[in-house]
Amino acid sequence: MSLKVYVDRLSQPSRALLIFCKLNGIEFEEVPIDLSKGQHRSPEYEEVNPMKQVPAIVHGTFKLFESHAILRYLASAFPGVADHWYPSDLQKRAKVECVLDWHHSNLRRGSVGYIFNTVLAPAFGLPLNPQVAAEGKKILSASLATIDTYWLQKDGKFLLGNSQPSLADLSLVCEIMQLEFLDEKDRDSILSPHKNVLKWIDDVKSATAPHFDEIHTTLFKIKEMFEKQRSAGASS
Amino acid sequence: MSLKVYVDRLSQPSRALLIFCKLNGIEFEEVPIDLSKGQHRSPEYEEVNPMKQVPAIVHGTFKLFESHAILRYLASAFPGVADHWYPSDLQKRAKVECVLDWHHSNLRRGSVGYIFNTVLAPAFGLPLNPQVAAEGKKILSASLATIDTYWLQKDGKFLLGNSQPSLADLSLVCEIMQLEFLDEKDRDSILSPHKNVLKWIDDVKSATAPHFDEIHTTLFKIKEMFEKQRSAGASS
């Protein structure tokens, strides 16, 4: 049964999904949907995901959106996926679900609110909103502190004290990678207080190599472009 | 194994959890955590849920928070729970997951933002924030429109065209019940354009009777109190 994966590599949940598929040997066709060109609003894509967001999948004739729902589905439907991603033990699984659910109104909300309204909005023809950015930054910093002192407080390298990563590690670290779009000083001031988070990002990168870096290449190209724009702005 | 359920019946996910347990014959002890009295910030409760939110459960020695994670866990751990709540079929389950995930950044975000900043904030010693309220109302109305025209577009009575409710129906309708706190005219103006939503609320109430009404008694008492306050304000 064919699997089509509709993604924009600048979208953090899209990247998590691509890395997950590659790591687990899931065969798929990547269908690029360029958000900056408005391809998510085309009538063809609306047939795939009426919410006009990425990522989405079509597996045979089965259509699905919402990245966490997709990750859970793939982890369950493809027998080759190692148990640590989405544990079959009910209590271990429930803890992973807890982080995945927590993510929506915390790290993700803060990260999207801040980064979109500090850097990305103009690329989508929208104005920056400093008030939403400020509120986002507050939620983002509080979320990073929670990860640093609570979700990563135990012995293991990964969230919940696990020795191997779960869907939650992948989803959350891909979200944090959006901070690469920020000015370096700003990014450092947000991330550097959280030493456990910094170590964990490296651990997730190592555990998902070489796919993590490969899938993030596009992001680093855009980061470079932003940096050049900033330098040009500073010297003009 | 004992199950303790920590809830405030004025919290929408708390009510969804109580209704779910009662409907499915899950034995539990209800531990009231009064948010308006700050009981969620006590050191004792922080031991149960370090995020200081309701609901949370302790099942034997296993602690869990985040209402969707709890509902999934109970649906999986208690063999008496009917399959329609959280289908074992992977694709049917994935569709329920999709609605549960969508909920966080849409209906829930809109509803909490609007209702807290229109009615509830003073009860928690906080000021109303009209700008957050306005943004919340926009998201709330767009979310109700999506439920009305997309999630409920098929033949069945419930979300996704199902003939019986899932965890998503329960979670989302309990969220919408928060609108009872609003002034009647305001509530009607928000809900009345969405005829499928109105019918679906009634269908979920019927499918979960008599527990739905019983668990919502506290909410209706507070609604009455708010109405008296509004009348007193209008006539003074």
Q: Which two tokens stand for residue A92?
A: 């271990």
Q: Contact at 8 Å (CB) between A68 and A86?
A: no
Q: How many angstroms from the chain centroid is the CA of residue A169?
A: 10
Tokens of A205: 């990168």
- Contact residues, chain A, for B70 at CB < 8 Å: 94
Q: How confident is the model at residue B25 (pLDDT cuts 50, 70, 90)?
A: very high
The beta-carbon neighbor of A105 closest among B50, B64, B104 is B104
Interface mutation vs chain A, best among B104, B107, B108, B175, most A CBs within 10 Å: B104
Residue pair B11/B23 in contact (Cβ under 8 Å)? The answer is: no
Is the Cβ pair B91, A68 closer than 8 Å? no
Taking every pair of Cα atoms in chain A, the longest distance, rounded to a whole number of angstroms, is 59
| Nearest residue in A to B72, CA atom | A94
ipTM associated with this complex:
0.96
Give the three-state DSSP class for B178: helix
For A88, which DSSP code?
A: S
Specify the pairing of strand B29-32 against strand B3-7.
parallel
Which tens digits make up the pLDDT trace of A10-63? Answer: 999 999 999 999 999 999 999 999 999 999 999 999 999 999 999 999 999 999
Is the pLDDT reported for residue A230 higher than 90?
A: no
What average pLDDT does this structure show over A116-124? 92
Residue B186 scores a pLDDT above 90: yes
What percentage of chain B exceeds 90 in pLDDT?
Answer: 91
Contact criterion met (CB < 8 Å) for B73 and A90: yes
Residue B236 has pLDDT above 70, yes or no: no
pLDDT single digits (tens) A53-105? 999 999 999 999 999 999 999 999 999 999 999 999 999 999 999 999 999 99
Is A94 close to B70, i.e. CB distance below 8 A?
yes
Contacts of B40 (CB under 8 A, 6+ apart): B8, B33, B49, B52, B53, B54
B130-160 pLDDT, tens digit per residue, is 999 999 999 999 999 999 999 997 778 999 9
